[in-house]
Chains A and B, each alone.
Chain A
Amino acid sequence: DVKVTQSSRYLVKRTGEKVFLECVQDMDHENMFWYRQDPGLGLRLIYFSYDVKMKEKGDIPEGYSVSREKKERFSLILESASTNQTSMYLCASSPSGRGAMGYEQYFGPGTRLTVT
């Protein structure tokens, strides 16, 4: 079974802190994604990566950055956390390469981040 794990299920941080959310997948997938999930808005793509050290902005990248130093690991970084970044963050991975982003995405359980 594909497994996508996220470093924390719940996280509470203070405004202005730098926050790291980690995601690891064990199926050698090329593609990895970070979404945020908010009530009534569904899932919105923050960043994705189709290879090690490669990244592209999604729909809402402002206030976030990412890092992919190893194929299995994709980190989301909140440079200076703000209260409007309080949300559920979901990581996903999928097989296949750049030319055909895998649509069958496998999701982690999510990290519920609260910024106070």
Chain B
Amino acid sequence: GNSVTQMEGPVTLSEEAFLTINCTYTATGYPSLFWYVQYPGEGLQLLLKATKADDKGSNKGFEATYRKETTSFHLEKGSVQVSDSAVYFCALWMDSSYKLIFGSGTRLLVRP
């Protein structure tokens, strides 16, 4: 079946450090891929998306590239801020399906 695997957290970084959160997927077909972010005390919000291979999604300094050959969609940011502290969820969606499939989430803690 379709699934998403994320690196376990928490990930703890100092402000201005480089961030990578790994995400790989298993899917029968060609999914669309997403990163959602959940700030403390809030619901999830869409951070970025990519709908086909080699697409790069970007938003708020975050980027992720849809790599079909490695079935990956790693999240990166060049310089994190304290305000980026949150839980990040990788997700996939198939056109033939009705639902988003989420990874288990990775907590990011950025220290000043």
Contacts and interface: CB of A to CB of B under 8 A. Distances in A.
Contact of B95 (A92, A100, A110): A100
Contacts of A58: 99
Contacts of A40: 104
A105 B49 CA distance: 12
A106 B95 CA distance: 18
A56 B41 CA distance: 28
A110 B89 contact: no
Interface residues of A, number: 24
Interface in B89-107: 89, 93, 95, 97-100, 102-105
B29 interface: no
Sorting the interface of chain B by its residue count into under 10, 10 to 19, 20 to 34 or 35 or more gives 20 to 34
B43 interface: yes
Contacts of A106: 45
A42 B104 contact: yes
Most chain B CB inside 10 Å of its own CB: which residue of A42, A56, A100: A42
Interface string A76-116: 00000000000000101000000011011111111000000
Nearest to A4: B43
B34 A42 contact: no
B69 interface: no
A4 B34 CA distance: 20
Given A48-B98, A59-B99, A100-B95, 17 more contacts: A40-B104, A42-B4, A42-B105, A43-B89, A43-B102, A45-B100, A48-B99, A90-B43, A92-B43, A92-B44, A101-B93, A103-B32, A104-B46, A105-B44, A105-B46, A105-B100, A107-B43
Interface of A: 4, 33, 40-43, 45, 48, 50, 56, 58-59, 90, 92, 100-101, 103-110
